[in-house]
Structure 1
């Protein structure tokens, strides 16, 4: 009997709830979206003179970042600015912003032969704008969860942003406001909305929607200024009348939501070979910019003009997709953890660190 007591006690002892598994669907979506981001960035130096490439670039730019931001908003729904959440926000967003803002500045100084290019924490360089935007959006989450018509208010702010020239010069505030509605939309979504996108009829409808958008992009490619898709400048700065800003904001929002829904409808629900890469998209996002900028800074396209020809465009596309895939792999994520997922326990009180430990990876797991 004494020998059975420990076993009985073990059976009766409360067991910790099993850790939630990551949702393969969202990891797949994040990986596929980051591939589109990298490919579109790689097209920038080589698309001049090619209407088809410019159209493809415009088509992808219409929804790739909106889709990524919608998912970011969806996984920010539980953010209440608790101390442990603020700790993760600092370690997962603020630290990577500072590290890569410095890294991209140093890279430009060296690769672009511009030794006097200034450091500036309030002027995001290249793709680091997304980190500072995510920081602002997530901090404002409790507000958006409290107001009555959050999406309408966010769209109003985005429209007003297009009427304010020069606003993008500090913290890329123009982009923060113009992409804000997608984050707020993600905050407003529930699991059943994504379930709806996976219905067979929705997936079938998504095909003609995507095809029609691609044809429309080819038709308007020579006449539409890409600045509208970057959302980094006001209407006046794009040589458009002031009233065009709010109208284009609403039109692009509608197009982006429809195309993002069509894209998400075809994201695989099951685990695939690339599902594990969804956890490393922050690495792929932050690192692929060095490769893309090398094409520009080092004059690679000028040296090898065949890259702007059809065969070269295919090679650039495949190379960008392969490179960002490698940059999302677990080994790269582990090596880069000091910059993208630092522990920072030394900088916070012990009670906050304990709370963060219990909630680690909560933002990347399936929402309840």
Structure 2
């Protein structure tokens, strides 16, 4: 043993302060980046839908349409996959899946079908829960994708497997239309990619170098869209049909599946590079994107069915700007807190009466409360 005390004339060296741990983001605090990304993605969805009534008169608008359609839903699905990473078959998570996805699907599929029968001009009539109408396909797909999450966690190469399934779907016209299964399978790689991502992947995208690089990529994609749009079948971007159903040779399907996935990932990364990470005026709206997504369809369909776009002046550049602004304003209002509160009974129903009490969840809650009671008992024992 040696004596560490200072000799006369020496001063005792002060110990360096222990490094403070980096504070972790509390579980209850939301990440502004993802809320911003979800809001901006849902704005792009509404813009794309609003252009469907106008793009036939404008090559530029058609190019913008397929440019946005290349990545707006993939971005939304990738983020959904990223936030599904913790999903397992635990009872409390299954309950949230039922109340947050399955119940809204049943309600909105029913309401949209009745809305179509009453106001629309479509030949289809009646309510069917197996054939999602319009926007409801995403809820049906999300329900199935999330249920398969444990599978993707255990396979060795989840993304190549998902891509292989999507490629096979494009050459399989016999796939059932139930639950829009063709679209569910073709968008599957985007969800699985989200499951495979980690926080550092998003940090790498959100760099100054990536933002600079995204500008020529966006410009090149827009120019390419303008060149090919007269010769392109838009059905490829909807992912609803196999290659044969679109009049293409079967081998087009796998090639287009790979090409569209690659373009979707690149453009999604460029889009995310420009999403602000700090809190913005629209950040809180990102918590209500599913509300805006499901409700804006009623406005969109009603205006189309009742001839709002028949005015000739709307098919001018100024008209396109006004229609786009209207779509953005509508979806923004539908994401606000008052609208979310009104529709919470549908979007986030509790339904405690419908589920058994989970003993494991009760034990976890008791274990969580135990440390709070412990100091009180110790003080009482003294």
Shift of 1:350: 2.2
**Following the alignment from structure 1 to structure 2, what is the Cα–Cα distance between the partners of residues 269 and 278?**
13
Answer yes or no: is 1:153 the counterpart of 2:161: yes
Which residue number in structure 1 is paired with residue 95 of structure 2? Answer: 87
Shift of 1:305: 2.7
Moved over 3 A (4+): 113-116, 352-355
TM-score by length of 2: 0.86
Mapped contact 1:83–1:352 kept (Cα < 8 A) = no
**Following the alignment from structure 2 to structure 1, what is the Cα–Cα distance between the partners of residues 279 and 165?**
39
Which residue number in structure 2 is paired with residue 323 of structure 1? Answer: 330
Match of 1:67 among 67, 75, 80: 75
For structure 1, list consecutive stretches of 5 or more residues without a partner in the other structure: 1-16, 359-368
Answer yes or no: is 1:257 the counterpart of 2:265: yes
Match of 2:308 among 290, 293, 300: 300
**Following the alignment from structure 1 to structure 2, what is the Cα–Cα distance between the partners of residues 168 and 196?**
40
**Following the alignment from structure 1 to structure 2, what is the Cα–Cα distance between the partners of residues 259 and 116?**
36
Match of 1:335 among 342, 346, 350: 342
What is the root-mean-square deviation in Å for CA atoms of aligned residues? 1.7
Which residue number in structure 2 is paired with residue 22 of structure 1? Answer: 30
- Counterpart of 1:62 in 2: which secondary structure? helix
**Following the alignment from structure 2 to structure 1, what is the Cα–Cα distance between the partners of residues 333 and 359?**
34
Which residue number in structure 1 is paired with residue 8 of structure 2? Answer: none
Shift of 1:301: 1.7
Question: What are the Cα deviations for residues 66-104 of structure 1, in whole angstroms up to 9, with x where unaligned?
Answer: 001000000000001111000000000001101110111
Match of 1:269 among 262, 267, 277: 277
- Counterpart of 1:121 in 2: which secondary structure? coil
Mapped contact 1:101–1:124 kept (Cα < 8 A) = yes
**Following the alignment from structure 1 to structure 2, what is the Cα–Cα distance between the partners of residues 68 and 200?**
23
Question: What are the Cα deviations for residues 262-304 of structure 1, in whole angstroms up to 9, with x where unaligned?
Answer: 00011000000000000000000000011111122112222x2
| Higher deviation after alignment, 184-193 or 210-219 | 210-219
Mapped contact 1:94–1:135 kept (Cα < 8 A) = yes
Match of 2:245 among 237, 258, 273: 237
Mapped contact 1:31–1:278 kept (Cα < 8 A) = yes
**Following the alignment from structure 2 to structure 1, what is the Cα–Cα distance between the partners of residues 330 and 309?**
18
Give aligned pairs, total. 340
